[in-house]
Structure 1
Amino acid sequence: MKINLDSPVIVFLTTVADFMILNILFILCCAPVITIGPAVSALYTITMREARHEGGYIFKPFFKAFKNNFKQAFLLPILYLIIG
């Protein structure tokens, strides 16, 4: 029995697995509470990439987005914390 990798069931299961991995990465990056901002930014970046059907890997782009947006996404929640 051959499995067709382009079948709707396999595509759906692959997408579900990708989002599960993405959520685990998000939770791990939120473990130190101060990195919630960059983690949300990276999660949003990768989720939008998946919504545009640009698929591909999850780990490397997530950490690249986390690194690229760290400074900007780190300072805003700190500002909100001070104001709050």
Structure 2
Amino acid sequence: MARQEISIESDFITLGQVLKNEGIIATGGQAKWFLSEEKVLVNQEQETRRGRKLYPGDQVTIPALDFDALMVADEA
């Protein structure tokens, strides 16, 4: 599983926003359902809250989708 980097333009981004921005879900409203159906790990711990704030250095992993991403600060 190749780790990708996701740039955060503000102080944080929510888990629901990451799922939508990466095309894992089509709408923000699907986040709650997706998190209840799939194993989503934030920093190696299972997470079910779509509003979970992610900061630079946080890692999101979805084993079923072979998805692994590291949050990084936007340098712009």
Instruction: State TM-score, norm by structure 2.
Output: 0.25
Which protein has the bigger strand share? 2
Q: Higher relative contact order at CA 8 Å, sep ≥6: structure 1 or structure 2? A: 2
Which protein is bigger by CA-based radius of gyration? 1
